Amino acid sequence: MPDMPVRMLFGPGPSDVAPSVLEAMARPIMGHLDPAFVELLDDVARMLREIFRTANEVTFAVSGTGSAGMEMALVNLLEPGDRAIVCVAGVFGQRLAEIARRCGAQVDEVVAEWGSPVPDAAVREALDRGPAKIVALVHAETSTGMRQPVERIARDAREHGALVVLDAVTSLAGIPVSVDEWGVDVCYSGTQKCLSVPPGLSPITFSTRAMDAARARREPVRSWYLDVTLITRYWGADRVYHHTAPISMLYALHEGLRLVLDEGLEARWERHERLGGELQAALVEMGFDLLAEEGFRLPQLTAAAVPSGVDERAARGRLLDEYGIEVGGGLGVFAGRAWRIGLMGESCREDKLERLLAAILAVTQ
């Protein structure tokens, strides 16, 4: 294998990984039904409940990236003809809508301008128009750096009898996520963002209401691999074989979750809020324009238009080639004119932020 360059990861994911997480991945492989490994799975589920802030029994990690968690949430709840209300304010809201359509659902998109949240009132109007099986929304829209308020939409959805699906891929362990308090029925995330574990697993949690809906389907789930009623027989007390679990990735997740809880969720949220604010203030001073609406900006993922006269691709290339620093380019309507800069997990450190800002200044001024 060729030598791979060492990078500092400030893109929209993956984030830097702590040395102890990499060390965990090098531990000896064992069978995925080994009693010692089963004990580790129980620990992972317990720690995920703490981080999701839920008592849901069905809480585990899907073998796959965050998009696998997204697909799992929808394919288990939706059947052909079901109505799905999907909040769309960026690329990942669009992806939710696309997967819902592939499940055969009638999709009602509630759309907001990129960088702005979907208004509570617009979702309520969609709910008033008729019954819906689910309301799905993205908490932290990675394409725009926007934080979507959740609580009012979730309350309105439940009052109308709809299940609430929340994408927390970029938010979990970076900003507050409170599944039970908010009344969320299915919430999924990804390991490679604020959890600072390599990509490859998608933490997910299902409420009792969601599991009842999955078990009451008229037809089998169209994805065998992502059928929650099958996978929970492995993660649950029965330990029935479903697929070969990714042993080394689960070692890594176990260690990453331990680091999160050792730091403390509130302390971790404060670190992201403080350093994200410092990054955004510095970018504005350098001539960048923040693209998410004020009051709804994520601290851990910033979308910013590059200063006038700066070739965004060339400057981003210099960051990588000359400084070993990765930032992401814009997506969708922001492509070619914006950067997406992540300060997530292990990448969200004061010394790393100083190096990032010095490098950005050098390539844009």
Cα separation, 42 vs 36, whole angstroms: 10
Omega cis (within 30) before 14: yes
CA 221 to chain centre: 23
CATH class of 19-261: alpha beta
Residue 365 has pLDDT above 90, yes or no: no
Cα separation, 69 vs 63, whole angstroms: 9
Q: Which token pair is 9?
A: 């990861």
Which residue has tokens 């995330």?
189
pLDDT score for 237: 87
Q: CB–CB of 188/207 below 8 Å?
A: no
pLDDT digits (tens, 9 = 90+) for 277-318: 999 999 999 999 999 999 999 999 999 999 999 999 999 999
Average pLDDT over residues 191-218: 98
pLDDT score for 238: 87
pLDDT digits (tens, 9 = 90+) for 74-102: 999 999 999 999 999 999 999 999 999 99
As a whole-number percent, the residues of the chain with pLDDT over 90 amount to 97
pTM beyond 0.95, yes or no: yes
Q: Which CATH number fits domain 8-14+264-364: 3.40.630.20, 3.40.50.150, 3.90.1150.10, 3.40.190.10?
A: 3.90.1150.10
Cα separation, 356 vs 10, whole angstroms: 8
Cα separation, 96 vs 74, whole angstroms: 8
Residue 1 has pLDDT above 90, yes or no: no
Cα separation, 234 vs 231, whole angstroms: 5
Using a 10 angstrom Cβ sphere, with 0-12 exposed, 13-18 middle and 19 or more buried, the burial of residue 99 is buried
Strand order in the sheet with 338-342: 289-290, 301-305, 338-342, 328-329
As a whole-number percent, the residues of the chain with pLDDT over 70 amount to 100
Q: Which token pair is 100?
A: 């819902």
Domain-wise residue ranges, the chain: 8-14+264-364, 19-261
Are domains 8-14+264-364 and 19-261 of this chain identical in fold?
A: no
pLDDT score for 298: 98
Give the type of residue at 290.
L
